[in-house]
Amino acid sequence: MSVLLVILSACTNTPSTSPPQSTPATQEGPIRVQMGEGGPVPNPIASEELLAVYPDLSLLAEMPQAAVVGVLNLVSAPCAPCDDSLAVCALAPPEGCENVPHLVARAVEVAAQGGDPDVIRDAVTYNDDWVSDDTRARTGSVDVEVWIDPSSPATSETLARMSAITTALDEIPVQFHLRVLWDAEEDDEWPAALALLAAEEQSSGRAFLKEPAGAIPDSVRFEARKNEETLGDSLRAEQAIARAKGVRSTPTWFVEGYRLRGLQGEQNISHFITLSWMDLKVASSAQEPETP
């Protein structure tokens, strides 16, 4: 069902075009946000409060600005340390919610492009948390990390989905990174985990997964790596990273740090990749020096 937003700024006298059950048009006091037939959002954050922290909101016309403020009050912040609305979290993002200012900037950009409240909501809504990763180097492409279990029948479908996404989004640079959720109790997973960790190129890891079981490409290099004393430590470290990121099943996807669990439809992953690419372009434009 489409989301109905009733957003009224302080001292607004604009006639309302909302359905009969909506809040009356004239409103004094702080912003009120209502969703469908539900009641007002508890502890809403007024536009003035958000404008003090995010001055780019002032670049929007009255109604797009009101739409952004309303959506931010309705949507939950997708980061574990913050269990409140995106608007509340945006005022003072706690450690582990460094993504929140980027989401506010995204909402402003979508509104500036003419997106209605439903479109803005879809642009900032996630069903899972963003996971901070200070070790991830920033690149000019959208980074997608995919955790797989090489012994799972779903792995081939995951690889096919990665290829399909790359083809469908040919104008967006996407960098996939394969990671292995390895079960130390399953000996038959060792060669696959070894192959992916030993591969210097991601393409080598994918080639291995497409081969029949036991057919390890470049076996000399893989066998040499198998004899390294530190390999066991490397594999255990990989699993520690998986636990820290909340990876408990495969496949698990991370699109620029946003966790998406399960097989995930191609359209859903492509949607979040496209949004992340928009974020990168907006950030890049903000860093460009102004022409005198």
Beta pairing partners, 8: 32
Helical residues (DSSP H) of the chain, grouped into ranges: 47-53, 62-74, 86-91, 100-112, 117-124, 154-168, 190-198, 202-210, 219-226, 231-244, 266-287
Distance between CA atoms of residues 1 and 3, nearest Å: 6
Q: How far apart are CA 272 and CA 124, in angstroms?
A: 10
Q: Are 78 and 258 in contact (CB under 8 A)?
A: yes
Supply the pLDDT for residue 66.
94
Q: Max Cα separation, the chain?
A: 76
**CA–CA dist 156, 153 (Å, integer):** 6
Averaged pLDDT, 273-288: 83
SS (H, E, C) 112-127: HCCCCHHHHHHHHCCC
Provide the whole-model pTM.
Answer: 0.74
pLDDT digits (tens, 9 = 90+) for 55-77: 999 999 999 999 999 999 999 99
Tokens (6 digits) for 163 = 């290829």
Alpha-carbon Rg for the chain, nearest whole angstrom, is 23
Cα separation, 199 vs 173, whole angstroms: 22
Q: What is the pLDDT of residue 109?
A: 95
Domains of the chain and CATH, by start: 5-124 (no CATH), 142-266 (3.40.30.10)
Please count the other Cβ atoms lying within 10 Å of the Cβ belonging to residue 285.
9
pLDDT digits (tens, 9 = 90+) for 189-247: 666 566 565 554 455 556 555 555 444 445 565 566 666 666 667 777 778 888 888 89
Q: Are 177 and 139 in contact (CB under 8 A)?
A: no
Bond into 19 cis (ω within 30): no
pLDDT at 269 over 80: yes
**d(C-alpha 86, C-alpha 181), whole Å:** 31
Token reading at 155: 């792995």
Our measurement of the distance from residue 275's CA atom to the centroid of its chain's CA atoms, rounded to an integer in Å, reads 8
Q: Which of 12-16, 60-64, 142-146 has the highest mean pLDDT?
A: 60-64
* CA–CA–CA angle 97, 100, 103 (5° rounding): 150
The amino acid at 103 = L
C-alpha to C-alpha distances, 202 to 129, 196, 207, 283, nearest whole angstrom:
26, 8, 9, 28
Span 101-140, pLDDT tens digits: 999 999 999 999 999 999 999 999 998 889 877 655 566 8
3-state class (DSSP) for residue 44: coil
Per-residue pLDDT at 282: 83
